[in-house]
Amino acid sequence: MSAEATNPEAHPEARPELRRRGRSRLDLRRLGRAALLGPTSRDRLPDAIGHVAEAHRAHHPNADMSILRRAYLLAESSHRGQMRKSGEPYITHPLAVTLILAELGAETTTLTASLLHDTVEDTDVTLDQVRAEFGDEVCFIVDGVTKVEKIDYGAAAEPETFRKMLVATGNDVRVMSIKLADRLHNMRTLGVMRPEKQARIAKVTRDVLIPLAERLGVQALKTELEDLVFAILHPEEYESTRALIAAHAGERDPLPGIADSVRTVLREAGIAAEVQVRPRHFVSVHRISRTRGELRGSDFGRILILVGENADCYGVLGELHTCFTPVVSEFKDFIATPKFNLYQSLHTAVATPEGYVAEVIVRTRQMHRVAEAGVVALGNPYATATPDAAADPDEERVDPTRPGWLSRLLDWQQSAPDPDTFWTVLRAELAQDREITVFRADGGTLGLPAGASCIDAAYAQHGEAAHGCIGARVNGRLTSLSSALSDGDTVQLLLAQDASSGPSAEWLDHARTPAARIAISSWLESHPDRAMATTSAARAPLSVVGARGGGANAVADLPDATVRLAGCCTPVPPDAVAGFLVRGGAVTVHRVQCAAVAQMRAVGRTSVAVHWRATADCRVTLLAESFGRPHLLADLTEAIAREGVEVVSATVEPPVEGRVRHTYTLQLPDAAGLPALMRAMRDVPGVYDVSRA
C-alpha cells in the first residue's frame, strides 16, 4: 500500500515491486467485500483468506499459512449471521483489517490476532478458547484489542480515551497496529452513518489515532486516515484540492522526465537504484498549496530513490548534487539522525534547467519498509533471543519504539493528576517532531524531545529524586539546569544531600517533557509555601559587613602615598603586583595579569614600584558560584570560620536560573592559607567554583 498515492489506480508505477513479484495491485478499499462475493458454500469459505495469504507471502515467504486459515474459519463461523451497517457480512471487516496489516508486512501472530480481534467482544468465543487454539501470544494481543474496543469514544471522552487505550495495550505495539488498521477500515466505510456521527469519529481519529500512527511510524495508515478525515471535516477544501489534482492530471507532468534524467545519471555512475515518482496525497497537496501559493507540475509529487546499502544513499546524493543544482535549504539527513518514529531517509531538492524544483527522497529498501509500516515492519518486536524459549506473558515487554516513547507514555500517564492535564501534555508530546539521545554518566542513555533541558534529563533518570537536583555537568562542564541539551551530549546530574530540597517554579519554564512538568507541578502544589517563595520578586543583594576593616599590606616606593589594593583583582602576597598613581595622590595596586594594568598604561598613568610588607596577613575578595539550596550561606560562612578567616563583608545576589553568586571580602591571618581556604569553600555541597575577584 503506497503511503503517498493520491489515486492508487491512476498511478500503478508507484508499486513496481508488485509487478516484479507477478502480483497485480491490490485495492484494499474494496478487497474486504470482494473476498466474499461469489459462491458462499462452506467448502469455498477458506478461499476468502487467499488474498491475505498472498500478501503475507510477499513479505514472509516461509510463513505457516495453516494458522491463518484456522483463525479465519473460527472468525467466520463465530461472526456468521452478523452484518455490518453497510449490509455486508461482518466477516468482511476482520478480513479487510488483516489484509491491511498483511500488505504492511505484519508477522503471522499479528495477522492471526487481527482475524480474531472482534470474536471475544462480539461472539461467544472466549479468551481461553483462543489461548488453547492459538497460544498465549495471540491471546495476549486479542485481549488487548478487546479492552481497547470497550473504550467509550464519546464526544467528550477524548482525554480519558487515550489514557485507557495506552493502558489497554499492555505495552504491546501490535495491539495499537490492529486498532489503527481497524479504524482505517471503519473510516473507509463511514458513509453509511449519519453526518454528525461521521464528524465525531473523524475528530477522534484526527486527535488521537493519526498522531499515534505518526508516532509508530505507520505512514501508510496515517496518510490515508488524514485524507479520509480531511474529506469529512473539511469537505469544501477537500473538493478544491481534488479539483486541483484533477486539473494537474490533464497537464504535462515534469516529474517522469526528471526521474528519467536521474536514472541516467545513476546508471552512468554505476549505482544500482530504483527511481519512482511518488504522487502526494490530498492533505500533502493542500498543505503545500497553502504555503507555496500557485503550484507547479513538480509540486504534485516527489521522486523516490531506493538503493541497497546506506553508503549508496550518500553516493546518490553526491551524484544528484553534482549533476543538478541543489536547493541547499531543503537538505535533511534523517539517516545519521533518525526521526523519533524510526524514519530514515535523505531529503533533498534539485532544480532543473527548465526551472522546475523536484523534491527527492533517498533511502534503502529496508528503510522504505520501515518508512511505510513503522513498527509493523519490525516483525515480532518481542521475540525471545532463542526461538525455543517461551515468552512469559506477565514479563515486562521491551519497548521497540525509538527511544522508548511508548514506555515513557505508560509511565507518566499514571502521574497525570486529571484527564485535562494528561490531554494537554500529551498533545504537547505528540507535537514534538524530533527526539535526541543523551548519554548518562553511568553509561546509559536517555531519550528526550528536541529542546529538552537538564531538568528533563534529571526527571527522566531519577524520577521524583530529581526534586533535589542542584546542577549538572554537560560534556564535563558545569552548567545550570535550564541549559538545553543536544543530541549526543553526556550529562551528569548533581543531587543535593538535603532531603528538603525541591524544585522552583522557574523550572516549569525550562521543562519540556510531560514527566518533568507533571512532577514539578505536583511538588509545587504540595509545598505551597515553597512555591510562593520561589516566585516572589527578586530581592536586593544581601550584604553582611564585618566589624573591623583592614589596612593594605602593600608598600609603594612613594613617600606618604596612600596605598589601595584594587578591588578588581584583590592582590595578596605573594602575587606579582604593579602600582599606578591615580587622582588624589593615591597608588592603586593590581596583579600584573589584571586587565586594568594594560588600561592604566594605555592612558599614561604613572607607574609606581610596590612591594609587600613583611607581615603575613592580607585581605582578599573571593567569588563563590553555587547552586541555590537552603542553608548555603550558613554552611559557607562556617567553612570560612573553620579556616580561621574573618569575614569583612559578604554579598549574596538573588538566584538566577537556580544559581547563586556570593562575594566575600576576607581578612586572612596568613596569605599562605588562601589555597586551603578556597578548597574548603569548594567542598561545601552546592558550590561548584570559587575564584579570586
Active site residue ranges: 121-122
Please name the helix (run of DSSP H) or strand (run of DSSP E) that holds residue 275, with its range, or none: strand 274-279
Q: In a 3-state reduction of DSSP, which class is residue 387?
A: coil
Residues 6+ apart with CB under 8 A from 536: none
Enter the C-alpha cell of residue 396. Answer: 515486562
Tally of CB atoms within 10 A around 164: 17
- Tell me the one-letter amino acid at 494: L
What DSSP string describes 129-191? HHHHHH-HHHHHHHHHHHHHHTS---TT-HHHHHHHHHHHTTT-HHHHHHHHHHHHHHHHTGG
State residue 212 phi and psi, 5-degree precision.
-65, -45
- Sheet with strand 587-591: strands edge to edge: 563-565, 587-591, 577-581, 607-608
Please name the helix (run of DSSP H) or strand (run of DSSP E) that holds residue 615, with its range, or none: none
Tally of CB atoms within 10 A around 338: 20
Enter the C-alpha cell of residue 142. Answer: 486479542
DSSP assigned state of 484: B
Q: How far apart are CA 275 and CA 266, in angstroms?
A: 10
Q: How far is residue 529 CA from its own chain's centroid? A: 34
> Are 182 and 117 within 8 A, CB to CB?
yes
> Are 671 and 654 within 8 A, CB to CB?
no
Q: What angle in degrees, to the nearest 10, is found between the helix axes of 92-104 and 173-188?
A: 120
Q: How far apart are CA 100 and CA 353, in angstroms?
A: 41
Q: How many residues does the chain have?
A: 693
> Are 284 and 327 within 8 A, CB to CB?
no
Please name the helix (run of DSSP H) or strand (run of DSSP E) that holds residue 19, with its range, or none: helix 16-20
Q: How far apart are CA 321 and CA 74, in angstroms?
A: 56
DSSP assigned state of 233: H
> Are 55 and 21 within 8 A, CB to CB?
no
Tally of CB atoms within 10 A around 565: 23
CA torsion angle for 202, 204, 205, 207 (degrees, to 10)?
120
> Are 317 and 362 within 8 A, CB to CB?
yes
Q: How far apart are CA 289 and CA 282, in angstroms?
A: 11
Residues 6+ apart with CB under 8 A from 526: none
> Are 609 and 556 within 8 A, CB to CB?
yes
Nearest CA to 556 out of 605, 619, 611 is that of 611
